[in-house]
C-alpha cells in the first residue's frame, strides 16, 4: 500500500478568539508540525505557545476512542450500536413524555455549524426549552449590554487593524498579553503612532507592564469608575452624543452623583490618578474602551459594561474607526457560539426565541409547526442547578457537548453533586474531562483539525476551519453524533445530512434575515477571504464596521440604560477572591493540563503584606474559605496585586470554582459572580505547588474509567 503523501492544510487554532491561522504539515496522515502564516488576517504570522502546542493532544494517550457506558459503577467500552441503544431506551421515552426534563449544555468552542446543529437538536429533536452553554460564563454580560443598547452583539464592531488609529486605548479588566497575545501587536502599533494605553486591573499583569499607565480599582468597582469619568466629561463640557438615543438625559443626571472624591474612595484609587485618566480621555480624539472579563463576570456585569458603553456613546466615539467601545471575546468561537441558537433564548442568526416572526421564520426553515418550538428555558447556571431536581423545572437527563462544568461552573462542588443525581448524563468529548468521568454514557468526538466548519473571531470575522486528519479509533465527528442522537430518540426529521457541506449550507441559509446574517457565505468564498458579518449577499460586501449611527432596533436608535451598581464592600480588612486565566492554560484545562509543553501553577496569588498579616510564606499552603466552599492551595507572593484581592486561576478542578456562588446571577446576562467573592484565609498543612502538567484528577468519589 502507498504511504499517504505529505501535504499541508491551513486551518484555525482550537483555542482563543483571535483564531490565528496555521499551516498543518502532515506525514502519512498525521499532523507532525504547525507553522503560523503571514497571510493570517488577524495575527499576521504571530501565534502563542498554546496554539503551536495544540498538536500534542491530538493523539494523547487519554484520547477517547470508543463509547463508554456506565455499568456497575464503571465506565466500560462499548460499540456505537450499544451506545445508541442506550440513548434510544433511556432518552427516547423521556423525549416523548417529558422533554422539558432533558437539558443540553454546549460550548463557545464549538464551530458555528455545531452550534447551529446543537440548538436545532434541542428545539426540533428533543423539543426541550433547556439548552444553554458555557459562553454564559464568559462574555455574556457584554453581550447583554450590547444587545439592549444597540440591538446587536458583535464584540468588536471594527477590524483589529483599526486599533492603531486610536490615540487612547483604555483596557478594562483585559489581560491581553496572557489571553490574546497576538493582539498586543495592535496595542504596540497604537503606541508607536503616539497613542497611549491605560490598563485598569487589580493586578500588575504583563499587559499592564506594556501599557505603562495603570489604575488598580477594587474588584467590582469598574462601573463606578466609568460613572466617575462620565461625571467629569459632563463637568468639562465633553458631552456630544454619538447619535440621538433613548435614555441620554437619565444617564447624564445619574452621573451627577459620582463626583471624583466619592469615586476614588469607592474604587480605592488615588483621586489624582482618576483625574489623570479622565483628562487623557477628554483630550483624546479617538479614544477606545475595550472590556475583558474583569468588569463582565459579575452579578452586576451587564450594568458595569453599560456604564462604559454610555461613556463612549455620550462622548461621541461609538462607530468611529478605531474608537468607541468593544469587548474582547475569549473563547475560540465565543462570538459565533453566541449567535446561532445554543443560548436559551436564541434562534440562529441571533434571532430571538421570544419574537413571533423569528419563530415563524425558523419553523418554516426547519419545516416544523411553530408551536413545536419551545419558549426560552434555563440559562447555563440555572440549568446545572436544576440537574437531578425532582420538582417543576428539574432535569433527569443532560447532554453535554465539549464543555466541562465540573470545573468551570460557579459553585463547582454543588454542581458536581447535582450532575451525579441525574438519571442520564451523556457527554460528547474527545478527552475524559472531569464531567465525562461522571457520565452514564461518554461518546468520543472529534478535535479541532479532525472536522470541517467555520468559526467567528473576536472581530466578527468568519474563517474556515479545515479538516486535516480523521479522529482516532471509533471516535466520530461531533455533527454526525448529534444526528445519530436525533435518530436514536425517534426524531430523525431534519437530521440526515449526507455530507458536512449539506449541514454547512443549511446553516448559512438559516441565518438569512437574522442580525448575524451569514447567508452570503460559502466555503468557496471563505477560501478566497475571511469575512466580517453581516454578509447577506453572495455577491455583496462584508461588514467591517458593524456599529453605524443607526442600529437594528425598532426605531433605529440606541437605548442607554442607567447602570444599577451595588455598594462596594469597603470594610477595612475585607478580602476579595477574583478568578481568571493563566497564559499557558485554556478554560477548564481538559486539553492544556495534559499538554507537556504548557505550564501553569494552581496557586493563590497574594500580596506580600496580606500574606505577612496572615503569617503566610511563599509556597506554604493556605485554605481559602467562602460561603460556598473551601480550597487549599499554595501561596504565590505577588507584589503587583491589590492587598485586598486574592487571585486564583480557574483551570483546575477542586480550586477556584469550589469557592464561587452557584446561585447569585446577573439579572440580565445570568452571569455568576466569578470576579468577586468575599473570602477568609486559614493556614493549612503544606502541599506542593502544582507547577507540572498533570493528568486529569478524577473526583475522589468518581468511579474510575476503564478504557
Ligand atoms: Fe492564536 Fe489564541 Fe491560538 Fe494563541 S490561543 S495561537 S492567540 S488563537
Residue pLDDT, tens place only, 234-284: 999 999 999 999 999 999 999 999 999 999 999 999 999 999 999 999 999
Q: In whole angstroms, what is the distance from residue 41 CA to residue 87 CA? A: 43
Nearest ligand 1 atom to the CA of 183 is 7
Tell me the Cα Rg of the chain: 24
Q: Residue 127 Cα, ligand 1 centroid: separation in angstroms?
A: 36
Q: In whole angstroms, what is the distance from residue 14 CA to residue 450 CA? A: 11
pLDDT digits (tens, 9 = 90+) for 142-162: 999 999 999 999 999 999 999
Nearest ligand 1 atom to the CA of 19 is 8
Which ranges of 576-685 does DSSP label H, i.e. alpha helix? 608-613
Q: Residue 327 Cα, ligand 1 centroid: separation in angstroms?
A: 17
Q: Average per-residue pLDDT in the chain?
A: 94
Q: Residue 41 Cα, ligand 1 centroid: separation in angstroms?
A: 13
Question: What contacts 54, CB < 8 A, 6 or more positions away?
Answer: 13, 14, 15, 34, 448, 591, 595
Segment holding 631, helix H or strand E: strand 629-637
Asked whether the predicted pLDDT for residue 575 surpasses 50, the reply is: yes
Question: What contacts 630, CB < 8 A, 6 or more positions away?
Answer: 623, 624, 658, 659
Mean pLDDT of 446-456: 97
User: Mean pLDDT lowest for which of 109-113, 331-335, 464-468, 697-701?
Assistant: 697-701
Q: In whole angstroms, what is the distance from residue 36 CA to residue 22 CA? A: 4
Mean pLDDT of 223-240: 98
Name which residue sits closest to atom 4 of ligand 1, judged by CA.
Answer: 48
How many helices and strands, by DSSP H and E, does the chain display? Answer: 21, 29
For cell 445554543, the residue is: 342
pLDDT digits (tens, 9 = 90+) for 595-647: 999 988 999 999 999 999 999 999 999 999 999 999 999 999 999 999 999 99
Name which residue sits closest to atom 8 of ligand 1, judged by CA.
Answer: 19
Asked if 222 and 200 touch (Cβ cutoff 8 Å), the reply is yes
Q: In whole angstroms, what is the distance from residue 202 CA to residue 287 CA? A: 22
Asked whether the predicted pLDDT for residue 1 surpasses 70, the reply is: no
* Pocket residues: Cβ below 6 A from ligand 1: 13, 15-16, 18-20, 43, 47-48, 50-51, 180-182
Q: In this structure, what are the phi and psi dihedrals at residue 71, rounded to the nearest 5 degrees?
A: -135, 130
Q: Which of 572, 580, 681, 570 is nearest to 201 (CA)?
A: 580
Band of residue 704 on the pLDDT scale cut at 50, 70, 90: very low
**Exposed, middle or buried, 333 (CB in 10 Å: 0-12/13-18/19+)?**
buried
Q: Residue 59 Cα, ligand 1 centroid: separation in angstroms?
A: 20
DSSP helix/strand/coil, 15: coil
Q: Are strands 677-678 and 576-580 parallel, antiparallel or unpaired?
A: antiparallel
Residue 672 per-residue DSSP state: B
pLDDT digits (tens, 9 = 90+) for 407-420: 999 999 999 999 99
Q: In whole angstroms, what is the distance from residue 430 CA to residue 107 CA? A: 14
User: Mean pLDDT lowest for which of 317-321, 495-499, 638-642?
Assistant: 317-321
For cell 438615543, the residue is: 245
Name which residue sits closest to atom 1 of ligand 1, judged by CA.
Answer: 20
Q: Residue 257 Cα, ligand 1 centroid: separation in angstroms?
A: 42
Question: What contacts 471, CB < 8 A, 6 or more positions away?
Answer: 430, 444, 445, 446, 447, 450, 477
Predicted pLDDT of residue 549: 74
Mean pLDDT of 57-74: 96
Asked whether the predicted pLDDT for residue 441 surpasses 80, the reply is: yes
Predicted pLDDT of residue 171: 98
Band of residue 706 on the pLDDT scale cut at 50, 70, 90: very low
Residue 123 per-residue DSSP state: I
Q: In whole angstroms, what is the distance from residue 551 CA to residue 558 CA? A: 7
Asked whether the predicted pLDDT for residue 699 surpasses 70, the reply is: no
Predicted pLDDT of residue 683: 82
CB atoms within 10 A of CB 217: 28
Mean pLDDT of 211-229: 96
Band of residue 548 on the pLDDT scale cut at 50, 70, 90: confident
Segment holding 454, helix H or strand E: strand 453-456
Nearest ligand 1 atom to the CA of 12 is 8
Nearest ligand 1 atom to the CA of 586 is 5
Beta strands in 294-396 (DSSP E): 324-327, 346-347, 351-352
Q: Residue 500 Cα, ligand 1 centroid: separation in angstroms?
A: 26
Q: In this structure, what are the phi and psi dihedrals at residue 454, rounded to the nearest 5 degrees?
A: -130, 150
Name which residue sits closest to atom 3 of ligand 1, judged by CA.
Answer: 51
Asked whether the predicted pLDDT for residue 567 surpasses 80, the reply is: yes
Nearest ligand 1 atom to the CA of 181 is 7
**Exposed, middle or buried, 569 (CB in 10 Å: 0-12/13-18/19+)?**
middle
Ligand 1 pocket, mutate which of 10, 21, 47, 597 (most atoms under 8 A from CB): 47
Band of residue 692 on the pLDDT scale cut at 50, 70, 90: very low
Mean pLDDT of 383-390: 97
Predicted pLDDT of residue 605: 97
Predicted pLDDT of residue 684: 78
Nearest ligand 1 atom to the CA of 182 is 7
Q: Residue 662 Cα, ligand 1 centroid: separation in angstroms?
A: 30
Asked if 64 and 430 touch (Cβ cutoff 8 Å), the reply is yes
Q: Which of 351, 302, 189 is nearest to 667 (CA)?
A: 302
Inter-CA distances, 625 with 396, 417, 573, 588, Å: 32, 19, 15, 21
Q: In whole angstroms, what is the distance from residue 689 CA to residue 669 CA? A: 35
Q: Residue 529 Cα, ligand 1 centroid: separation in angstroms?
A: 19
623-637: b or e for each residue (b if 16 or more CB lie within 10 Å)? Answer: ebbbebbebbbbbbb
Nearest ligand 1 atom to the CA of 52 is 6
Predicted pLDDT of residue 72: 95
What would the DSSP string read from start to end of 95-109?
A: HHH-GGGEEEEE-TT
Question: What contacts 674, CB < 8 A, 6 or more positions away?
Answer: 137, 293, 297, 298, 410, 578, 579, 650, 657, 660
Q: Residue 24 Cα, ligand 1 centroid: separation in angstroms?
A: 15
Q: Residue 47 Cα, ligand 1 centroid: separation in angstroms?
A: 6
For cell 468559526, the residue is: 455
Name which residue sits closest to atom 2 of ligand 1, judged by CA.
Answer: 16
Predicted pLDDT of residue 550: 84
Ligand 1 pocket, mutate which of 17, 23, 50 (most atoms under 8 A from CB): 50
Q: Residue 332 Cα, ligand 1 centroid: separation in angstroms?
A: 8
Asked whether the predicted pLDDT for residue 703 surpasses 80, the reply is: no
pLDDT digits (tens, 9 = 90+) for 85-139: 999 999 999 999 999 999 999 999 999 999 999 999 999 999 999 999 999 999 9
Predicted pLDDT of residue 697: 33
Q: Residue 206 Cα, ligand 1 centroid: separation in angstroms?
A: 17
Name which residue sits closest to atom 6 of ligand 1, judged by CA.
Answer: 51
For cell 500588575, the residue is: 204
Ligand 1 pocket, mutate which of 177, 180, 184 (most atoms under 8 A from CB): 180
**Among residues of the chain, what percentage have pLDDT more than 70?**
96
Asked whether the predicted pLDDT for residue 702 surpasses 60, the reply is: no
Nearest ligand 1 atom to the CA of 332 is 8
Predicted pLDDT of residue 686: 57
**Among residues of the chain, what percentage have pLDDT more than 90?**
92
- Higher model confidence: residue 704 or residue 334? 334
Q: Residue 506 Cα, ligand 1 centroid: separation in angstroms?
A: 29
Amino acid at each position: 500500500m502507498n504511504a499517504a503523501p505529505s501535504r499541508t492544510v491551513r486551518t484555525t487554532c482550537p483555542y482563543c478568539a483571535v483564531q490565528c491561522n496555521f499551516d498543518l504539515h502532515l506525514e502519512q496522515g498525521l499532523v507532525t508540525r504547525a507553522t503560523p502564516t503571514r497571510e493570517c488576517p488577524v495575527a499576521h504570522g504571530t501565534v502563542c505557545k498554546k496554539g503551536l502546542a495544540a498538536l500534542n493532544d491530538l493523539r494523547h494517550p487519554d484520547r477517547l476512542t470508543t463509547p463508554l457506558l456506565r455499568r456497575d459503577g464503571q465506565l466500560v467500552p462499548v460499540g456505537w450500536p450499544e451506545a445508541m441503544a442506550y440513548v434510544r431506551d433511556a432518552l427516547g421515552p423521556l423525549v416523548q413524555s417529558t422533554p422539558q426534563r432533558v437539558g443540553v449544555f454546549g460550548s463557545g468552542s464549538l464551530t458555528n455549524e455545531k452550534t447551529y446543529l446543537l440548538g436545532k437538536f434541542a428545539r426540533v429533536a428533543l423539543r426541550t426549552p433547556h439548552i444553554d452553554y458555557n459562553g454564559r460564563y464568559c462574555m455574556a454580560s457584554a453581550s447583554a449590554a450590547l444587545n439592549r443598547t444597540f440591538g446587536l452583539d458583535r464584540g468588536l464592531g471594527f477590524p483589529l487593524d483599526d486599533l492603531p488609529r486610536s490615540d487612547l486605548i483604555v483596557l478594562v479588566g483585559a489581560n491581553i498579553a496572557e489571553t490574546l497575545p497576538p493582539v498586543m501587536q495592535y496595542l504596540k502599533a497604537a503606541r508607536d503612532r503616539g497613542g497611549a494605553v491605560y490598563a485598569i486591573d487589580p493586578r500588575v499583569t504583563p499587559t499592564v507592564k506594556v501599557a505603562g499607565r495603570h489604575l488598580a480599582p477594587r474588584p467590582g468597582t469598574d462601573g463606578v469608575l466609568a460613572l466617575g469619568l462620565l461625571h467629569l466629561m459632563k463637568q468639562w463640557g465633553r458631552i456630544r452624543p454619538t447619535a440621538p438615543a433613548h435614555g441620554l438625559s437619565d444617564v447624564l443626571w445619574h452621573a451627577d452623583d459620582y463626583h471624583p472624591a466619592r469615586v476614588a474612595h469607592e474604587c480605592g484609587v488615588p483621586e489624582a490618578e482618576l483625574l489623570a485618566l479622565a483628562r487623557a480621555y477628554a483630550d483624546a480624539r479617538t479614544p477606545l474602551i475595550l472590556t475583558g472579563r474583569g468588569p463582565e463576570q459579575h452579578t452586576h456585569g451587564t450594568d458595569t459594561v453599560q456604564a462604559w458603553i454610555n461613556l463612549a456613546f455620550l462622548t461621541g466615539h461609538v462607530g468611529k474607526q478605531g474608537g468607541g467601545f468593544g469587548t474582547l471575546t475569549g473563547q475560540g468561537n465565543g462570538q459565533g457560539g453566541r449567535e446561532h441558537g445554543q443560548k436559551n433564548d436564541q434562534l440562529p442568526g441571533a434571532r430571538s426565541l421570544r419574537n413571533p416572526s423569528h419563530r415563524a421564520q425558523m419553523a418554516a426553515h426547519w419545516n416544523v409547526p411553530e408551536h413545536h418550538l419551545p419558549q426560552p428555558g434555563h440559562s447555563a447556571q440555572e440549568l446545572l442547578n436544576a440537574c437531578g431536581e425532582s420538582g417543576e423545572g428539574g432535569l433527569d437527563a443532560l447532554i453535554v457537548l465539549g464543555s466541562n462544568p465540573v470545573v468551570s461552573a460557579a459553585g463547582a462542588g454543588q454542581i458536581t453533586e447535582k450532575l451525579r443525581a441525574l438519571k442520564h448524563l451523556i457527554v460528547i468529548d474527545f478527552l475524559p474531562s472531569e464531567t465525562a468521568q461522571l457520565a452514564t454514557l461518554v461518546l468520543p468526538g472529534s478535535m479541532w483539525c479532525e472536522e470541517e466548519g467555520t468559526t467567528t473571531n473576536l472581530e466578527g470575522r468568519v474563517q474556515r476551519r479545515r479538516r486535516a486528519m480523521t479522529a482516532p479509533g471509533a471516535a466520530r465527528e461531533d455533527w454526525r453524533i448529534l444526528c445519530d442522537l436525533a435518530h436514536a430518540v425517534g426524531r430523525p426529521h431534519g437530521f440526515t445530512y449526507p455530507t458536512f457541506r449539506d449541514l454547512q449550507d443549511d446553516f448559512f441559509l438559516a441565518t438569512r434575515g437574522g442580525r448575524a446574517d451569514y447567508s452570503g457565505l460559502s466555503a468557496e468564498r471563505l477560501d478566497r477571504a475571511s469575512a466580517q458579518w453581516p454578509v447577506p449577499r453572495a455577491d455583496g460586501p462584508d461588514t467591517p464596521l458593524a456599529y453605524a449611527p443607526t442600529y437594528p432596533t425598532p426605531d433605529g436608535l440606541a437605548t442607554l440604560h442607567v447602570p444599577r451598581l451595588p455598594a462596594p464592600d469597603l470594610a477595612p480588612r475585607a478580602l476579595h477572591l477574583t478568578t481568571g486565566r493563566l497564559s499557558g492554560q485554556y478554560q477548564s484545562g481538559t486539553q492544556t493540563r495534559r499538554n507537556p509543553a504548557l505550564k501553569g501553577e494552581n496557586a493563590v496569588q497574594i500580596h506580600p503584606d496580606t500574606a505577612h498579616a496572615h503569617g503566610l510564606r511563599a509556597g506554604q499552603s493556605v485554605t481559602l474559605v467562602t460561603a460556598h466552599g473551601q480550597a487549599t492551595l499554595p501561596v504565590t507572593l505577588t507584589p503587583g496585586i491589590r492587598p485586598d484581592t486574592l487571585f486564583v486561576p480557574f483551570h483546575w478542578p477542586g480550586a477556584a470554582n469550589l469557592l464561587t456562588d452557584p446561585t447569585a446571577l446577573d439579572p440580565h446576562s445570568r452571569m455568576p459572580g466569578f470576579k468577586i467573592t468575599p473570602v477568609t484565609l486559614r493556614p493549612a498543612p503544606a502541599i506542593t505547588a502544582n507547577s507540572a502538567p498533570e493528568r486529569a484528577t478524577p473526583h475522589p468519589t468518581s468511579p474510575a474509567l476503564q478504557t
